[in-house]
Amino acid sequence: MAEKVRHHWIVRLTHWMSTVAFFIMVGSGLRIFNAYPAFHRRGETFCCYPFEGTPIPSWATFGGWLGGARHWHFAMMWVLVANGLVYLAFIYLHGEWRDLVPRKGDLRDTIEMIKFYVFVRKDHPIQGKHNALQKGAYFVMPILATMIVISGIAIWKPVSLGWVTNLLGGYVWARYWHFCGMVALAGLSIVHVFMVFTVDPYSLRSMTTGGYSKRLSPEARNARPFWHLLPRRKRDTSVDEENVL
């Protein structure tokens, strides 16, 4: 039997809106970066980026040209900020922040999840709505998004908000922190998508219609990446997956 709705419609809506907005922001931001694909000022050097002067491949950019990319970037910035505030307000007022905030024992549980994924541990660790690795990622994502917003404002208004720019080490470093935050958040997002499709593809329904069957959770299926693709006789599970969806 299916559980009650796993994710509230506000969580589902903000999830997909942030997905679209972030995708466009990354592509348009990389197009803007290509206008000057380096962090150092002309005639200077920069310590921490080995690809200075090398533009991002055009297929990874969005907006077509610098002006178009800027329009898209700023438009999606407001969408992402507003969407993030709605999400954070909801999980606070609805109490769902308790599922994400770090707790005593999370480090131990994280180690156990890693041991399970690398086949050191045989059985899936007991978890709640999210396992320890998921909790850590979902907790860090809003922090990275905040860092991206603050550094983006420092780049956007380096004179009128010069104190923010200076706090980040100056314009060059503000650009760098903005870029690093984007790479980190994009990396976490890629890992998230990978784990959804290879470990818990059934969770896609919970983020669209809200429905989710607990008996099909990774814990119930003892699932690792791509585990659901193996012949049933090779999996240590008694779950009937043929009637799903």
pLDDT tens across the length of the chain (245 residues): 445 788 899 999 999 999 999 999 999 999 999 999 999 888 888 899 999 999 999 999 999 899 999 999 999 999 999 999 999 999 999 888 888 888 888 899 999 999 999 889 999 998 878 888 999 999 999 999 999 999 999 999 999 999 999 999 999 999 999 999 999 999 999 999 999 999 989 889 999 998 888 888 888 888 888 765 665 545 544 444 434 44
Q: Can you tell me the distance from the alpha carbon of 222 to that of 217, in angstroms, rounded to the nearest whole number?
A: 8
Angle ∠(201,203,207) on CA atoms, nearest 5: 130
Measured distance CA(6)–CA(77) in Å, rounded: 28
Structural domains of the chain in order of their starting residue, each with its CATH number: 9-234 (1.20.950.20)
Q: Look at residue 205 and give its three-state secondary structure.
A: helix
Quote the pLDDT of residue 234.
52
pLDDT of residue 215: 86
The pLDDT of residue 85 is 93
Predicted local confidence at residue 238, as pLDDT: 43
SS3 category, 198 = helix
For position 241, what pLDDT does the model report?
43
pLDDT of residue 129: 82
Under 8 Å CB-to-CB from 174, ≥6 apart: which residues? 151, 154, 155, 158, 164, 165, 168
pLDDT at 232: 56
